[in-house]
Chain A
Amino acid sequence: MAKQLGFYFDASACMGCKTCQVACKDKNDLPVGVNFRRVWQYGNGSWVPSGKLWTPNNVFVYSVSVACNHCEKPSCAEVCPTGALAKRADGLVLVNADQCVGCRYCEWACPYGAPQFNEAKGVMTKCNGCEDLLAQGQNPACVDACPMRALEFGDIAELRAKHGNVNAIEPLPVATLTFPALVIKPHRHAQASGKGMGRIIDLVEEA
């Protein structure tokens, strides 16, 4: 099998601090509105009164940090008319800005919201796995920034051997669309993709 790099994310450890998101933003000098890595809060529940007490009713929340999953069947690269978005030999899916025509078709095709348009440059941008750091034998910025050690990056076969095969929990879509190179350690409240009882919360963000 061809080499395939990918991320591991430990949802049971993540506390939703968004340090990874900010480290990515800083490393890649991203404008407002563009975030290659994002942390989603997923949850639900309510409080019900019983006498003078309010008791939680199915209250749960957990966070999922996701960037580009450098998918094994990347729909972004499939639809890209210029070939600007393409899979490299190491499995990374990269945008070549010199080729990109800025049609944003990849944005429609990706189920993870990974390709994000840079208005100022007129081209598509996305997570490149910090390929410059990788070339120096270092980790992507998000991985090293996480205070909970919830992120890892490396050969996806090794990550799977170490952490299992879960690759979709809410709010991520089912994995059969693009076969993401992603391994997740589910949170104890994790809901199966497409069958979740909750919703994305905490959407207000100007970053």
Chain B
Amino acid sequence: MNVREWALITFTILAQMSVGSFIVLGIVHYFTAKKSGEKQADELSDRALLAIGPVLALGMAASLLHLGNPINAYKAVTNLGTSWLSREIFFGVLFAVAGAVFAVMQWKKIATFTVRNVVALVAAIIGVALVYSMSMVYMMPTRPGWNVITTPLSFYVTTLLLGVLAMGAAFVANYWYVQRKNPGCASDQCVLLRDSLRWFGMASIVLLGFQFVLLPLWVALMAGSSSASATMLVGEFGIVFALRLALVFLGAGVLGIFLYRAASSPGQEKVMGAVAYVAFAFVLVGEVLGRFLFYATATHFGLQ
């Protein structure tokens, strides 16, 4: 592992986290606005929205570190016809622009709710395309450990899992901020926060289920396509792999249940907040380790 690979880990994780956050936030905002009105929904999530931009920007900055000659970075979108790397960068920039346009519209309340929803939907679709091209970059016959269906599938699960838990943490942070300005937990905001966190807890458990189907599937497919990778994963990197499984299981599963339960009973906001933070931290570290293993166990087909 070197700077170059850590740059790729940072970029892919942060970019996926921002796409996931954007999608999750959009869904929550939409349903909250339907139920309790726009004002309440904005109060719940507008500040979280503004956190997504810097995360994406940080990820994109990190991606420059894996280039030997970053001065030419702007030329890297010239081969859209055949290069998934070009497409990845193209959709990355497009997602950043669409997301920023939406964030400004939402923050300044430009245009109607419906128009803003359409813009958000477009940005979300670009985000989905971004994650798809990110995964296709790794689908090459010369990289057998990557060239398996679990690569795109697990990129999407990571995207949503990080999105759900990052937004869980962001909502809690936002809630304490609102509370400090306007104390009293009987407010609608408290109810909305609990509603969303209950939903996040449930979603993270479901996503964990997907993750625990994909992980063994990955190992199995990899054992067929690149036995050296599979051997490394359970041998040399066995401890990291075990840690990765444990962290995601604890964060998304065990703490997901706690989150759901704490959010179901009023008056438990402190516990709920702590659980949301820790769950996010566990899953983030778990996913980073997972991405580390993805690169670290890669083998090359042919001469290298």
Point out residues on A near B: beta carbons under 8 Å.
38, 40, 66, 75, 77-84, 98-105, 108-113, 117, 119, 121-124, 171-173, 177
**B140 contacts which chain A residues (CB < 8 A)?**
75, 79, 108-109
A119 to B70, CA, bound (A): 13
Q: Are A111 and B301 in contact (CB under 8 A)?
A: yes
Residues of B within 8 Å of A98, CB to CB, are 72
**B83 engages A78 (CB within 8 Å):** yes
In the complex, residue of chain B having the shortest beta-carbon distance to the beta carbon of A123: B69
Distance A47 CA – B56 CA, assembled complex (angstroms): 60
The answer to whether B304 and A81 touch across the interface, beta carbons within 8 angstroms, is no
Contact A100–B72 (Cβ < 8 Å): yes
Considering only CB atoms and an 8 Å cut-off, how many residues of chain B contact the other chain? 29
Q: How far is the CA of A113 from the CA of B142 in the complex (A)?
A: 10
Q: Which of A38, A81, A101 has the most CB of B within 10 A?
A: A81
What are 28 A-B pairs with beta-carbon distances under 8 A?
A38-B303, A40-B303, A77-B82, A78-B83, A81-B75, A81-B76, A81-B77, A81-B86, A83-B79, A84-B75, A99-B75, A100-B69, A101-B69, A101-B73, A101-B75, A102-B72, A103-B66, A105-B85, A109-B140, A110-B142, A111-B142, A111-B302, A113-B302, A113-B303, A122-B69, A124-B68, A177-B141, A177-B302
Q: What residue in chain A is nearest B302 (Cβ atoms)?
A: A111
Q: Give every chain B residue within 8 A of A173 (Cβ-Cβ).
A: 301-303
* B303 and A103 form a contact (CB under 8 A): no
Chain A at the B interface: mostly helix, strand, loop or mixed? Answer: loop
Q: Which residues of B contact A38 (CB under 8 A)?
A: 303
Say if the beta carbon of B67 comes within 8 Å of chain A: yes
B265 within 8 A of A: no
Q: How far is the CA of A82 from the CA of B74 in the complex (A)?
A: 9
Q: Flag if B143 contacts A108 (CB, 8 Å).
A: yes
Partner of A109, one of B70, B86, B142: B142
Q: How far is the CA of A77 from the CA of B85 in the complex (A)?
A: 12
How many Å from the CB of B64 to the closest CB on chain A?
Answer: 10
Most chain A beta-carbon contacts within 10 A, residue among B4, B79, B137? B79
Q: CB-CB contacts of B79-110 with A at 8 A, as 1s and 0s?
A: 10011111001000000000000000000000
| Closest A-B pairs by Cβ, 8 of them | A102-B68, A111-B302, A122-B68, A173-B302, A102-B69, A113-B303, A81-B85, A81-B86
CA–CA, A30 and B304, complex, Å: 17
Which A residues touch B179, using CB under 8 A? none
Produce 1/0 per residue, B135-168, CB < 8 A to A. 0010011110000000000000000000000000
Chain B residues contacting A66 (CB-CB under 8 Å) are 303
Other A-B pairs, 5, CB within 8 Å; known A101-B70, A110-B142, A122-B68: A81-B89, A102-B68, A111-B142, A121-B68, A123-B69
- In the complex formed, the residue of A with least CB distance to B73 is A101
Interchain CA distance A109-B79 in the complex, whole Å = 15
Asked if B84 contacts A101 (CB within 8 A), the reply is: no
A93 CB, min distance to chain B CBs, angstroms: 14
Query: Interface digits, B36-68 against A, CB 8 Å rule (1 contact, 0 not)?
Result: 000000000000000000000000000000111
Interface pair B67/A103, CB less than 8 Å apart: yes
- Is the CB–CB distance between A101 and B83 below 8 Å? no
Known: A81-B76, A123-B68, A173-B301. A108 touches B142 (CB 8 A): yes
- When C-beta atoms are compared, the residue in chain A nearest to B298 turns out to be A108
The verdict on A82 contacting B72 (CB below 8 Å), with A75-B142, A108-B140, A108-B143 known, is: yes
